[in-house]
Amino acid sequence: MTDKTLAEENALDEIFMSEALRLAKHANGRTTPNPLVGAVVVKDGRIISVGWHHKAGTPHAEVHALNAAGELARGATLYVTLEPCSHFGRTPPCVDKIIFAGIKRVVAAIGDPNPKVSGRGFEILRKAGISVDVGILEDEARQLNEVFFKWITKNLPFVTMKFASSLDGKIATVSGASKWISCEDSREYVHRLRDLNAGIMVGVNTILADNPRLTARFAGGKNPVRIVVDSMARTPVDANVVSDGQAETIIAVTANAPKKNLDSLKNGGAKIIVAGDGEKVDLKLLMRELAAREITSVLLEGGGTLNFSMLEAGLVDKVIVFIAPKILGGKNAPTAVEGAGFEKLSDSVYLKNTTVQKVGTDIFLTGYVQKKD
C-alpha cells in the first residue's frame, strides 16, 4: 500500500468516524449509566446503515446499525465510537452480533475502560479473523464520554460547577437579589445543561432562600435527580424540590440530623443519604453513594460555601461560567466561591482547556479543573 493510499484510507476513516460520533450525540443525556455510542456500517466506500445507543437496557449502537444493514453487512466495515462490549449486561455481547453479521473490519475510536470489556472486545474480534483498528478520533471520543470514563474508572460522578456572575464576580447584590444576573439566552442554556445531567446539586441555603425547582423547563426536557446538601435536614417539606413531584429528590444529611426532620422528609417523598457523622456532610462519601446509585453526572449549582467545599475536596471536573456585562459592587455581596479560600496562589484551582464564547449578551466560559493527583 502506498503512502498516498494509506493517507486516503485514514482520511476516509476519520470521515466515517466523525459521522459515528455525530450520531452518538443524538442520545446525549439519555443513556446513563451507559456511554454514548454511535456506529456506521460502510461497504464499497459508502454508508449503508447507521445506529446509536438510545437508552440503557436497549440495543447498543452496533446492533441497530447491523440490523439495519442486514445481509449487506457481510464483508463490510463497522465504525464504532467505543470498543464493542464482550459481556452480558442489560443486553447480550455486541461482539457476537458483529461476528455473526460477517463484518470484515472494525474501526473503533477508543477502548472501553470498563474492566468487564477493556480490550476483551477487540481480542475476541481479532480471534474471529476480523481486522481491528483503534484510535481514529480518539480525543473526540474521549471527550464525548467524559462522564462515563470518570464514573467507570473512579466510581465517582462527573461534576460540572455552573454559576452566573457579574463582571466583578458577584452572584447577587448586597441585598441578596440574584434574579436575573444572566440573560435569557444563558438561562435557557442552563435548562439544557440540567437536561444533560443525571443529577443537580445545591446546598440547603439555596433551598431556603430561593425555593428553586431545579428542573429542565423546556419541551422534551428530562429532569435530573435533585440533591440537597443539608447536614441537619432543614429542608422544608413544602419546598418545591420535595413537594412538586417533578423529579426524585435526595437530601444528603449527617448522622446528627434530627429524626423528626428526616421522618417528615421521607413522608414527603424525599430520599435520604446519610454521609458522615460530623458537622458537615462528607462530600466525598456523598459522591461515592451517588455513583453507586448510577448518578454518573452532577450539575453543581451551589452557593459560595458549597462550591468552595467541592473544589477544596477535588470533586469538581468542569466549570461553566456565565459572565454578565454588569457591575454590582459591594464588599459583602456574595460571590460564586467563598468558604475559607485558598491561602496560596499555588493552591488555587487552575482551569485548563478553556473556551470563551458569547451567549446572548453574556460571556460563556468553560474549562476543566487541573487535577493535582
Question: In this structure, are residues 229 and 281 in contact, taking their beta carbons and an 8 Å threshold?
Answer: yes
Q: DSSP of 163-217, one letter per residue?
A: EEE-TTSBSS-TT---TTSS-HHHHHHHHHHHHH-SEEEEEHHHHHHH-------
Strand runs labelled E in 99-186:
105-108, 131-134, 158-165
Active-site choice (8, 9, 19, 62): 62
Q: Are strands 46-52 and 38-43 parallel, antiparallel or unpaired?
A: antiparallel
CA–CA separation, 169 and 151 (whole Å): 31
Q: DSSP of 246-309, one letter per residue?
A: SS-EEEEE-TTS-HHHHHHHHHTT-EEEE--SSSS--HHHHHHHHHHTT--EEEE---HHHHHH
Active site residue 294: no
Give backbone dihedrals phi and psi of 320, rounded to 5 degrees, phi first.
-125, 125
Give backbone dihedrals phi and psi of 161, rounded to 5 degrees, phi first.
-90, 125
* Residue 71 DSSP code: G
CA–CA separation, 331 and 315 (whole Å): 28
CA–CA separation, 26 and 8 (whole Å): 28
Q: Is 15 exposed, middle or buried (0-12, 13-18, 19+ CB in 10 A)?
A: middle
Query: Among 108, 289, 307, which Cα is nearest to 201's?
Result: 307
Q: Are strands 249-253 and 271-274 parallel, antiparallel or unpaired?
A: parallel
Active site residues: 62
